[in-house]
Structure 1
């Protein structure tokens, strides 16, 4: 499958194949390092400096998953714990997914600092096949990264979650799961598999619709949706002046240039917008046919930079079960955050899905002017400082209330 910079985008990462490895800080020309040996015991711990410990744990298929736990300065072994689940990409535990050029681009590392300051221990882990800050510079273990599937990502999170429940914060401690983007799908997979319920689920830009519905919207309707957002006078026609004034506050601002959104004739009529959706739907259907014809066990996107088996990619076309329906197996609070210019999921579509399956268990926050990672960009971080602080404070308040009972 080919990818277009201004076309298909995936959760938490542009659909451009070149970007897949960049998210993990690797280089496309890197040779495959030897696979890490499986640990001798189901889980091992080691110190990584003041306030933190490294860990390794074995997933259901025997793959070693590595990560770290960050603990508050005042840790006494009974503090609340939150496990962080990353979105799409070859991410290590820090989740470098920002464009500011600062240390805050490490979105999960930044969140970990804030959570520990609030008295909450943080557990974060490396995606299978991604080596954390390797001395030899070989970030990607291709033999392992290419084994990733929908099921293995659920199981990897499950192994980390089980370890967190047993080892970090004490068995009686409150525990939360936080998913950014596709990370919420992995959490939903645990719920559907009857895993032990946490005390709280937190989502950042997380889909609640079926994956197939979300991906179809990204592929066929996002641009028209954004252009209609630019229609300031609501007359149905989007002029060049309206686009130039408003484009940066819409999902399609992720294209990075206003020129890609302008119509050759100077304006978008309702008919032209409808036709754009029809045209993109044709491309989507062709891509779907091509994707589903490929061996599910083939490497995606290719053998040079494998991040999963092709079955994972195919799932975005075929999984029509709402994520919220899977999450409903847990009778726990759900704390969800969305930005108004999120390029990957639209809160207008996630709210009805939440209401239908989760009802009064959900608390949803819609943050004006923020994107998929709750930053100023439609897709990338770093997270807005005030948004990050508010999310951490609300999470802490819920966990402290539940831990008190």
Structure 2
């Protein structure tokens, strides 16, 4: 990709990336099944390569890649020696989206009403905000809490049950072949097909359940400040898996690391500390089935 010499802000950089890196026609063919199918092709190609021992393959995947790799494991389409799973929720795709959407919507509302960093608002504060917006009392009623106000947790739980289900049904009613723009919309880009997004909204199977039949080594690596995959939402899932597979499973928590296991909130690069830890994990896994020299 050529350097963007005229980029002044993130929006400029996104438009530049879409122009030079995103083929809308191809991205529009990405669906819920095409991704695991592509991963399976890569795995099969590696197994067939003359310079690769088919019994000593370790799969390293990040975020969404873990979801699709777990699907392949569950369907017995791949059976690598080991799995290194980075920054991925243990719960189902649907519940992951449900939590992320509801939590972000709740945080946005609290900050809009109460100011940046607000963790709670009272009904009195909401009423004042409504008056500032010129909103009639009847319209404001929909924002009121059943008690004296909302906390971040109570509003998130309410939005999970009310707002998310409405949004989900709306998305699921659309044709699967329609384009799904996601965050690329403002730059004229297509992220995937609508079927890809519908897969996230309708897949109820927890990732950890799809890994229960796997007998190889598993290492899960999470950053303890990952806002996309909060550690406190995943720990119980993975600790239960560890108890059921004590000899083959490990949970690695990287202090101060976010979703990309570095310092940037979403994108890379991965920190040197995380790289070393992951590399050492892969090396250890490969020693498990190392042929005699």
TM (norm. structure 2) is 0.72
Task: Give the Cα separation in 1 of the matches to 2:50 and 2:17.
Answer: 30
Residue in 2 that maps onto 1:272: 151
How many residue pairs get aligned? The number is 244
Are the counterparts in 1 of residues 208 and 237 from structure 2 also a CA contact under 8 Å? yes
Residue in 2 that maps onto 1:4: none
Relative to 1, partners in 2 of residues 1:172 and 1:203: Cα closer, same or farther, differing over 3 Å?
closer
Relative to 1, partners in 2 of residues 1:393 and 1:223: Cα closer, same or farther, differing over 3 Å?
farther
Task: Give the Cα separation in 1 of the matches to 2:249 and 2:234.
Answer: 11
Displacement of 1:373 in angstroms is 0.9
Are the counterparts in 2 of residues 147 and 308 from structure 1 also a CA contact under 8 Å? yes
RMSD: 3.2
Which of 109, 117, 131 is the aligned partner of 1:261? Answer: 117
Larger RCO, structures 1/2 (Cα 8 Å, 6+ apart): 2
Residue in 1 that maps onto 2:168: 288
Residue in 2 that maps onto 1:337: 221
Are the counterparts in 2 of residues 294 and 310 from structure 1 also a CA contact under 8 Å? yes
Task: Give the Cα separation in 2 of the matches to 1:274 and 1:390.
Answer: 34
Structure index of larger Rg:
2
Displacement of 1:298 in angstroms is 1.1
Which of 254, 276, 282 is the aligned partner of 1:389? Answer: 276
1:403 is paired with a residue whose SS is coil
Task: Give the Cα separation in 2 of the matches to 1:264 and 1:190.
Answer: 42
Displacement of 1:274 in angstroms is 4.0
Relative to 1, partners in 2 of residues 1:201 and 1:144: Cα closer, same or farther, differing over 3 Å?
same
Displacement of 1:221 in angstroms is 3.1
Residue in 1 that maps onto 2:78: 196
Write the deviation string for residues 353-375 of structure 1: whole angstroms up to 9, x where unpaired: 23445622320011111111111
Task: Give the Cα separation in 1 of the matches to 2:189 and 2:252.
Answer: 36
Are the counterparts in 1 of residues 58 and 285 from structure 2 also a CA contact under 8 Å? no
Relative to 1, partners in 2 of residues 1:369 and 1:168: Cα closer, same or farther, differing over 3 Å?
farther
Residue in 2 that maps onto 1:219: 101
Task: Give the Cα separation in 1 of the matches to 2:119 and 2:215.
Answer: 48
Task: Give the Cα separation in 2 of the matches to 1:292 and 1:299.
Answer: 13
Which of 263, 270, 278 is the aligned partner of 1:376? Answer: 263
Task: Give the Cα separation in 2 of the matches to 1:142 and 1:265.
Answer: 42
Task: Give the Cα separation in 1 of the matches to 2:102 and 2:194.
Answer: 21
Are the counterparts in 2 of residues 194 and 329 from structure 1 also a CA contact under 8 Å? no
- Structure 1 residue runs of 5 or longer lacking an equivalent are 1-17, 31-137, 226-239, 241-258
Structure 2 residue 178 is the aligned partner of structure 1 residue 322: no
Task: Give the Cα separation in 2 of the matches to 1:333 and 1:377.
Answer: 29
Relative to 1, partners in 2 of residues 1:264 and 1:189: Cα closer, same or farther, differing over 3 Å?
closer
Are the counterparts in 2 of residues 173 and 403 from structure 1 also a CA contact under 8 Å? no
1:201 is paired with a residue whose SS is strand
Task: Give the Cα separation in 2 of the matches to 1:354 and 1:146.
Answer: 34
Displacement of 1:312 in angstroms is 1.2
- Structure 2 residue runs of 5 or longer lacking an equivalent are 1-9, 126-147
Structure whose residues are more often helix by fraction: 2
Structure 2 residue 279 is the aligned partner of structure 1 residue 399: no
